Amino acid sequence: MPRFVFITGGVVSSLGKGLASAALGALLQARGYKVRLRKLDPYLNVDPGTMSPTQHGEVFVTDDGAETDLDLGHYERFTGVNAKQSDNVTTGRIYSDVLARERRGDYLGATIQVIPHVTDAIKTFVTSNLDDEDFVLVEIGGTVGDIESLPFLEAIRQLGYELEQHKTCFLHVTLLPYINVAGELKTKPTQHSVKELQSVGIQPDILLCRSSEYIPSDLKRKISRFCNVREEAVISALDASSIYDVPLVYHREGLDMEICRHFDLPLNEPNLLVWQDIVQRMSHPEGEVNIAVVGKYTSLIDSYKSLAEALVHGGLDNNVKVRLNWVDSESFEGDTPNMSELKQADGILVPGGFGQRGSEGKIRAIQFARENDLPFFGICFGMQMAVIEAARNLAGESEASSSEFGQIDNPVVGLMTEWTSGNKQVTRDDKSDLGGTMRLGAYDCVLGEGSRVLDLYGEKNISERHRHRYEVNIAWREMLEAKGLIFSGLSPDGQLPEIVERTDHPFFIGVQFHPELKSRPFEPHPLFSGFIKAARDRSRLV
Ligand code: GLN
């Protein structure tokens, strides 16, 4: 039976609970333990797949095709443990499962209630589908006091006494605001939030207090007394200079030590060399590259969380700092587009996206990169737009477009109606539900001999994660290859174009999948490393 650490948040949202959970996972791994991280999301959507990225941030896709919360991206980047569908659940999914069972008659005439039926379903979710993990870290989304989180808090409260003794720990992340005029950190919001937690029967074991200033010991003592938590278990979580510094910062404050003490585990020093090396390299870059990210949701950077991190990882691999310039693609539309943002860039990245708005600007940006030998990396929608760009501007098919933008006769990018998943045939049409019906998760791809991508990956058969509904039409292959756009990665049956590249360009690669989802600071993704290397070479040239 693994040990469970339940992580709740108090006072305000956006406290970095996901990062704290991920960092704790990394620290426990550094002590030799096997970990799994899970997230319980209180909202009513069945999954975040249909939510606007500007509201909810990026949708993180797992190998097994689940559309999950972006915190699972942090978990993977910090621990390298691939998340699964069974690591993220929402109130919506719990209720839809409970209701489906009610309709089937599984409850044998019982009145279905939040307690015990919904809470039982949550407990089953938390404790099922585990291997031989030493620790399961379970983050509860939202803030204590939210109406929606109550069933989750009730479920973890029950687990607190149902699981074997010494198998659970409640970690509460709070905020100590700094009041400028008083020149002090304030503990009252933390006291209130712990009271709120106690009112639903949960006594936190450890408090992780986010603050901009160091917490003096008299303040820790005060928090300890008011919140009924041992003084050493009141841990100060200072803002870190980079997210990859967080494991080291929390270790210095004793977080992993306190967890070990709580579970009566040895208190030896963890091996943090990997993190020390990352932080060391991050703080001593040899240069800088400017990457223009040309997209639509650039107002909320969280919509491209994994992408931004994968670019940082590419920078780490090349000892350069990567400066990101988020550019709204619509600024390149119209008769006299101002391309100055692109002229200053060492590389252009067009990320994933949905819908027609802004697509013409993306196509313009891609044309600019192609014509000016500027490193270009297109991801998913970005790849599709690169193919349309070539069809229009090189193959002379001025009407070339995607059926995502409306019905057309011979789409370069068309709605995918069937594909194989494992040994299953999947079929869809344009009337299918929008939720959970894309080509999702890990699919194999075979790389072409002599291609740049083969060089970068160093192996012919790769597997990458997907999330798309439309697909480049293989029928255009010959015409586009004749114009230098090589289809250098295909699905194993040769039917679905996965990668296009130009060989007459310093770096011009478009991929149908999302490589950013698999990049880790300690294992940068080869495509991001290659892209940043090309940008670095370019920045030295100009
Ligand atoms: N909108 C495109 C599609 O559905 C691209 C999706 C994406 O970029 N994730 O195929």
CA-proximal residue: ligand 1, atom 5 (nearest): 381
Average pLDDT over residues 41-62: 84
Which atom from ligand 1 is nearest to the alpha carbon of 514? 9
Does the Cβ of 465 fall within 6 Å of ligand 1? no
Work out the pLDDT band at 299, boundaries 50, 70, 90. Answer: low
Instruction: Give the number of the atom of ligand 1 that is nearest the alpha carbon of residue 351.
Output: 8
Choosing from 196, 258, 464, 516, the catalytic residue is: 516
Binding site membership of 296 for ligand 1 (Cβ less than 6 Å): no
The answer to whether the CB of 352 is under 6 A from ligand 1 is: yes
Whether residue 171 is predicted with pLDDT greater than 80 in this model: the reply is: yes
Asked about 169 being catalytic, the answer comes back as no
Domain 3-34+106-278 identical in fold to domain 286-413+472-488+497-541? yes
CB 464 less than 6 A from any atom of ligand 1 = no
Assigned fold of 3-34+106-278: Rossmann fold (3.40.50)
* Element (DSSP H or E) covering residue 441: strand 439-447
Average of pLDDT values for 331-336?
A: 88
Give the model's pLDDT for residue 240.
Answer: 85
- Which of 74, 251, 466, 514 is catalytic? The answer is 514
Q: What pLDDT, on the 0 to 100 scale, is given for residue 176?
A: 95
Q: Is residue 380 exposed (0-12), middle (13-18) or buried (19+ Cβ within 10 Å)?
A: buried
User: 305: pLDDT confidence band, cut at 50, 70 and 90?
Assistant: very high
**Where do the DSSP E strands lie in 101-244?**
135-140, 168-175, 178-179, 184-185, 206-211, 234-238
Position 432 pLDDT exceeds 80:
no
The SS3 call for residue 19 is helix
Active site residue 260: no
pLDDT confidence of 261, banded at 50, 70, 90?
very high
Tokens of 161: 């006494």
Which pLDDT does position 436 carry in this prediction?
65
Span 286-413+472-488+497-541: which CATH code? 3.40.50.880
- The domain ranges of the chain are 3-34+106-278, 286-413+472-488+497-541
Q: Is the pLDDT of residue 277 over 90?
A: yes
Query: In whole angstroms, how far apart are CA 347 and each of 3, 407, 417?
Result: 46, 33, 34
Q: Which residue has the tokens 């603050």?
A: 211
In this prediction, residues 365-394 reach a mean pLDDT of 97
Q: Rounded to the nearest whole angstrom, what is the distance from the C-alpha of residue 382 to the centroid of ligand 1?
A: 9
pLDDT, average across residues 165-191: 92
Atom of ligand 1 nearest to the CA of 471: 10
Token pair of 336 as six digits: 């006299």
DSSP three-state, residue 222? helix
